[in-house]
Amino acid sequence: MRTIDWQDGAITMIDQTLLPHEVKQLRVTDVDTLITDIQRLAVRGAPALGIAGALGVALLADQFRNDPERVRADAARLREARPTAVNLSWGVDQALAALPEGHAAVLTRALQLRDADIAGCVSMGEYGADLVTRLVSEKTGKDQVRMMTICNTGGLATVERGTALGVIQTLHERGSLAHVIACETRPLLQGARLTAWELTNFGAPFDLAVDSAAPFLLSRGAADAVVIGADRVAANGDTANKIGSFSLALAAKYAGVPFIVVAPESTVDLSCADGEAIEIEDRGSAEVVNFAGTQTAPAGTTALNPAFDVTPHSLITALVTERRVVNFAAGQTLKDTPLGELRLP
Ligand code: MRU
């Protein structure tokens, strides 16, 4: 089952709020429900949000066939449903660009983006697994790698196969994966609920760790490389990703461990010069002062809850996309690294 798809005039998607206990598919036929589902994280992860945005415009274009202004107005609301992952506005804009050709062209464009996501994740897996294997064997002489990751960047964050977790899956399929440490990812536990579920499904050996244990574990040599996804990569390579990523990058630098960002080209936002320009979603107190429906802090406690942080490019070894590897540690930049080909095995 794909994480997000289009079937018989509706968007279908797995309700990720119910995982790992229940696999339930939602059928979404209107954009207001889609916006709510995005905001409650039924569908989440930057690439999946991009496809949700594009398919959402396809719904609108079909529903308001003779009212392009209405389509554009509702698409503008969809675009703003969550602010940090640039893929959402990218997906909406890509689909809207086909609107002058009619509703069928909008759907065709959205389905092209869906298919490109699937192929792109395979390609990222190939580029990323090669890079990790090379960096680790150069440093340690080992051909079996121990990986650390945070949040969920697997098939649940894309259409079918993941970005950073896709690299881990490719390493596993090649017989080169020794172990994974998955950070649980407070406060909503995307690592514990979703990444652990995916790692179990594809049979990779792993342990879960609380986020605050990860820097210590890296300092004790528990992983050979860290891979994360991205919600937005600025023009200089600064990267917004799930809160906790920056701590991992600092610790990876301290431990001398490669820190690799894996994300599609659609996550690169050249209109943001650097990480300062990236808007960070604030998800409010409730997610922090409650746990699984039980209040855990005294009544009236307020909490800070930035959903993402920004890792400066100086802490990032390399960015892997479906079409290139930008080796920041070797002084490469996004501007001077040309796009290459998709790499399919
Ligand atoms: O709040 P979420 O679950 O949407 O956050 C997701 C992440 O931070 C992912 O790491 C990122 O979107 C990349 S997904 C391939």
Please tell me the distance between residue 194's alpha carbon and the centre of ligand 1 in angstroms.
11
CATH number, residue 311: 3.40.50.10470
Percent of the chain's residues with pLDDT above 90: 99
- Atom 8 of ligand 1, residue of closest alpha carbon: 242
Cut 0.85: pTM above it: yes
Whether 57 and 157 map to the same domain: the answer is no
User: Residue 340: inside a domain, yes or no?
Assistant: no
Averaged pLDDT, 70-76: 98
Domain of residue 200: give its range.
125-330
Query: What pLDDT score was predicted for residue 113?
Result: 98
Do 151 and 61 share a structural domain? no
CA angle 289, 45, 307 (to 5 degrees): 30
User: Is the link from the previous residue into 345 a cis peptide, with omega within 30 of 0?
Assistant: no
Q: Is the CB of 44 under 6 A from ligand 1?
A: yes
52 three-state secondary structure: helix
| 185 in the same domain as 283 | yes
Is 156 within a domain?
Answer: yes
Domain boundary among 65, 83, 116: 116
In this structure, the strands spanning 10-14 and 308-311 are unpaired
User: Would you name the residues annotated as active-site residues?
Assistant: 231
Q: Which of 241, 283, 321 to mutate to test the pocket of ligand 1 (most atoms within 8 A of CB)?
A: 241
pLDDT in tens, 172-196: 999 999 999 999 999 999 999 999 9
| Per-residue pLDDT tens digits for 229-284 | 999 999 999 999 999 999 999 999 999 999 999 999 999 999 999 999 999 999 99
Cross-strand pairs, 206: 180
- Give how far the C-alpha of residue 328 lies from the chain's centroid of Cα atoms, to the nearest Å: 20
Confidence (pLDDT) at 253: 98
Number of domains in the chain: 2
Q: Does the beta carbon of 163 lie inside 6 Å of ligand 1?
A: yes
Cross-strand bridge partners of residue 318 = 260
Q: Is the CB of 38 within 6 Å of ligand 1?
A: no
Angle made by CA atoms 342, 252, 258, in degrees to the nearest 5: 35
**What is the Cα–Cα distance from 34 to 43, expressed in whole angstroms?**
9
Given the CA of residue 165, which atom of ligand 1 is nearest to it? 15
pLDDT in tens, 273-332: 999 999 999 999 999 999 989 999 999 999 999 999 999 999 999 999 999 999 999 999
**Residues in contact with 186: Cβ distance below 8 Å, sequence separation at least 6, in sequence order:** 210, 211, 243, 244
Task: Tell me, in angstroms, the distance from the centre of ligand 1 to residue 231's CA.
Answer: 6
On whether both 51 and 142 belong to a single domain, the answer is: no
**Whether the CB of 153 sits within 6 Å of ligand 1:** yes
Q: Which amino acid, residue 317?
A: T
- Compute the distance between CA of residue 47 and CA of residue 339 in angstroms, rounded to an integer: 19
